């Protein structure tokens, strides 16, 4: 039986490397579709939590991963159950092993890659301090796969990266195994399109772009994703697929930079940017609304455009729009701090020695994802100026360890008494849990970067828009 037949019959075993915001939802969809899935991660804490049925990401429900697998059909095509969840030798038994018909195996034992038919890479692709691609996670993962790669397997990269990563860099690493891509194993790229917290567009409902190293590689990869998404979008090469994701995020980064710049300009002109946007978006064609904020956050938009900027240097091509957008968006926390200083100054205070509360550590509303959140930079800038800064976030009780930031704090309760003791309260994330009226009525000054107060009709002399 060839790999396409195994995929269609659900006998193919799936290995997903990286159990984060991309890999975990993907694992859930494959389990839902009736596949046996191995979830690989180097973080033992994550593996232990998954093994005990606990989710470490708020908006992701693990219920599908711990439900019994479908009963085998008479021809045995759906018999992909695993008799037990196992880890490396000498490790404690998996608490999920009480359900001996489960389809999901969380593990940090990468030797088990030899047991799967399809390997999907969902590891981070951050930037280093010079805004250059840090491909450590992808390339190290490739080296590991090469140790266990066997003929007939499919390897798909989903991590956002520069064009040429899959068919050039990753391919060469995988071919250290002695196997040749497109001949002995299949190779493809399919960019992740996750939007954490989006209940309308979940993994299965978002069209999946797929590019293969060869035509046969594309057929196999498309067949795989056809099993879990409503629509696959095949493209001519892995480089086209890699470029698709970059275009999507550059489009957003540039347009967000545009409204951020206009926010600063309109503020000087005494014009409300939020009212302008609301009126402009009534046009039924030719306009898509983007909204300003305190800076860019999340793993994609602040990072991905610079993968293309870096690659463009190889072709002696300046990416001016990308660089300018990055400059504008990176400077937004400085603008917010300036507005905080002006608001305090009008009340006879300075940032130095003021007590300031940041509302929202997550980079977007109603998620527990703090990656690249501008709130970290706001806290650092304010503390550098001598302020005493606390934060509240209903989804993030303790600041996580971040590569770029050294903020170590605990979320303070959002009470009437707490709000009143701060000189300034800054709305950095517009969580649905935040009651604008309660916040404004009990605060001395509110600096609003997300228009939470405006949408709630709470604009008054205590509120400063930033």
CATH number at residue 360: 3.40.50.720
Residues 242 and 169 sit within 8 Å (Cβ to Cβ)? no
Per the structure, the count of domains in the chain is 2
Shared domain for 110 and 191, answered yes or no, is yes
Shared domain for 232 and 265, answered yes or no, is no
**Which pLDDT tens digit goes with each residue over 417-452?**
999 999 999 999 999 999 999 999 999 999 999 999
CA separation for the pair 132, 465 (Å, rounded): 34
pTM, entire model = 0.88
Confidence grade of residue 129 (pLDDT, cut at 50, 70, 90): confident
Shared domain for 88 and 113, answered yes or no, is yes
CA separation for the pair 409, 397 (Å, rounded): 9
User: Does some domain include residue 271?
Assistant: yes
Shared domain for 91 and 139, answered yes or no, is yes
Q: What is the DSSP letter of 67?
A: S
Shared domain for 229 and 353, answered yes or no, is no
User: Does some domain include residue 243?
Assistant: no
The answer to whether residue 85 scores a pLDDT higher than 50 is: no
**Rounded mean pLDDT of the chain?**
91
Query: Given CA atoms 194, 146, 128, 313 in this order, what sign does their dihedral have?
Result: negative
Shared domain for 116 and 148, answered yes or no, is yes
Among residues 184, 208, 236, the one where a domain terminates is: 236
Nearest to 59, CA basis, from 31, 24, 107: 24
Confidence grade of residue 97 (pLDDT, cut at 50, 70, 90): very low
User: Does some domain include residue 400?
Assistant: yes
Shared domain for 32 and 178, answered yes or no, is yes
pLDDT of residue 96: 44
Q: Which of 36-40, 97-101, 103-107, 428-432 has the least mean pLDDT?
A: 97-101
Confidence grade of residue 402 (pLDDT, cut at 50, 70, 90): confident
- Out of 103, 118, 300, 424, the active site residue is 300
Residue 97 class from Cβ within 10 Å (0-12 exposed, 13-18 middle, 19+ buried)? Answer: middle
Across the range 213-220, mean pLDDT stands at: 98
User: Does some domain include residue 36?
Assistant: yes
User: Does some domain include residue 241?
Assistant: no
189: Cβ contacts below 8 Å, ≥ 6 apart:
156, 157, 158, 165, 166, 210, 211, 238, 241, 242
The answer to whether residue 294 scores a pLDDT higher than 70 is: yes
Q: Which of 13-22, 25-34, 225-234, 456-465 has the least mean pLDDT?
A: 456-465
User: Does some domain include residue 406?
Assistant: yes
Across the range 311-333, mean pLDDT stands at: 95
Among residues 178, 208, 236, the one where a domain terminates is: 236
The answer to whether residue 166 scores a pLDDT higher than 90 is: yes
Shared domain for 255 and 108, answered yes or no, is no
Shared domain for 378 and 354, answered yes or no, is yes
Residues 140 and 125 sit within 8 Å (Cβ to Cβ)? no
Shared domain for 133 and 278, answered yes or no, is no
Taking each helix axis from N to C terminus, what angle separates 305-313 and 320-345, rounded to the nearest 10 degrees? 130
Among residues 205, 236, 267, the one where a domain terminates is: 236
Question: Rounded to 5 degrees, what are φ and ψ at 342?
Answer: -65, -40
The answer to whether residue 182 scores a pLDDT higher than 90 is: yes
The answer to whether residue 218 scores a pLDDT higher than 60 is: yes
Domain that includes residue 75, residue range = 3-236
Shared domain for 210 and 318, answered yes or no, is no
Instruction: Verify whether residue 300 is a known catalytic residue.
Output: yes
pLDDT of residue 339: 98
Confidence grade of residue 69 (pLDDT, cut at 50, 70, 90): low
**Which pLDDT tens digit goes with each residue over 233-257?**
999 999 999 999 999 999 999 999 9
Helix (H) or strand (E) holding 187: strand 186-189
CA separation for the pair 464, 180 (Å, rounded): 61
pLDDT of residue 319: 96
User: Does some domain include residue 245?
Assistant: no
Name residue 17's beta-bridge partners: 40, 121
User: Does some domain include residue 34?
Assistant: yes
Residues 181 and 174 sit within 8 Å (Cβ to Cβ)? yes
Shared domain for 388 and 315, answered yes or no, is yes
């Amino acid at each position: 039986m060839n790999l396409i037949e195994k995929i269609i019959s659900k006998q193919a075993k799936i290995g997903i490397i990286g159990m984060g915001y991309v890999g975990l939802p993907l694992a859930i969809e494959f389990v839902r579709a009736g596949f046996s899935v191995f979830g690989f991660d180097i973080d033992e804490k994550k593996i232990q939590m998954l093994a005990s049925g606990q989710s470490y990401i708020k908006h992701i429900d693990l219920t599908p991963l711990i439900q019994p697998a479908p009963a085998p059909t008479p021809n045995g095509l759906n018999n992909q159950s695993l008799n037990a969840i196992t880890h490396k030798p000498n490790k404690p038994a998996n608490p999920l092993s009480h359900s001996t018909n489960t389809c999901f195996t969380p593990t940090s034992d990468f030797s088990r890659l030899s047991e799967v038919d399809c390997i999907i890479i969902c590891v981070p692709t951050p930037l280093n301090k010079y805004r250059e691609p840090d491909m450590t996670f992808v390339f190290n993962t490739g080296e590991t796969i090469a140790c266990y790669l066997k003929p007939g397997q499919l390897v798909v990269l989903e991590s956002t990266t520069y064009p040429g990563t899959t068919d050039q860099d990753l391919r060469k690493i995988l071919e250290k195994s002695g196997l040749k891509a497109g001949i002995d194993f299949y190779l493809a790229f399919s960019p992740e399109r996750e939007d954490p917290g989006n209940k309308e567009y979940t993994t299965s409902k978002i069209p999946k772009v797929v590019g293969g190293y060869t035509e046969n590689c594309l057929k196999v990869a498309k067949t795989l994703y056809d099993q879990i998404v409503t629509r696959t979008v095949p493209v001519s090469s892995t480089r086209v697929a890699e470029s698709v994701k970059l275009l999507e995020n550059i489009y957003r980064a540039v347009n967000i930079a545009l409204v951020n710049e206009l926010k600063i300009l309109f503020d000087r002109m005494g014009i409300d940017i939020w009212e302008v946007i609301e009126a402009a978006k009534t046009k039924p064609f030719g306009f898509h609304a983007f909204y300003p904020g305190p800076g860019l956050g999340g793993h994609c938009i602040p990072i991905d455009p610079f993968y293309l900027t870096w690659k463009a240097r190889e072709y002696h091509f300046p990416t001016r729009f990308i660089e300018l957008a990055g400059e504008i968006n990176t400077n937004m926390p400085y603008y917010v701090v300036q507005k905080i200083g002006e608001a305090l100054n009008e009340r006879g205070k300075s940032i130095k020695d003021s007590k300031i509360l940041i509302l929202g550590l997550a980079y977007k509303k109603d998620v527990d994802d703090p990656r690249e959140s501008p709130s970290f930079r706001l806290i650092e800038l304010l503390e550098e100026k001598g302020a005493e800064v606390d934060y509240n976030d209903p989804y993030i009780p303790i600041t996580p360890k971040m590569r770029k930031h050294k903020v170590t704090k605990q979320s303070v309760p959002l009470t009437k008494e707490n709000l009143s003791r701060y000189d300034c309260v800054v709305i950095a994330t517009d969580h649905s849990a935040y009651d604008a009226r309660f916040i404004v009525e009990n605060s001395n000054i509110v600096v609003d970067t997300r228009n939470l107060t405006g949408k709630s009709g709470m604009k008054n002399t205590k509120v400063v828009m930033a």
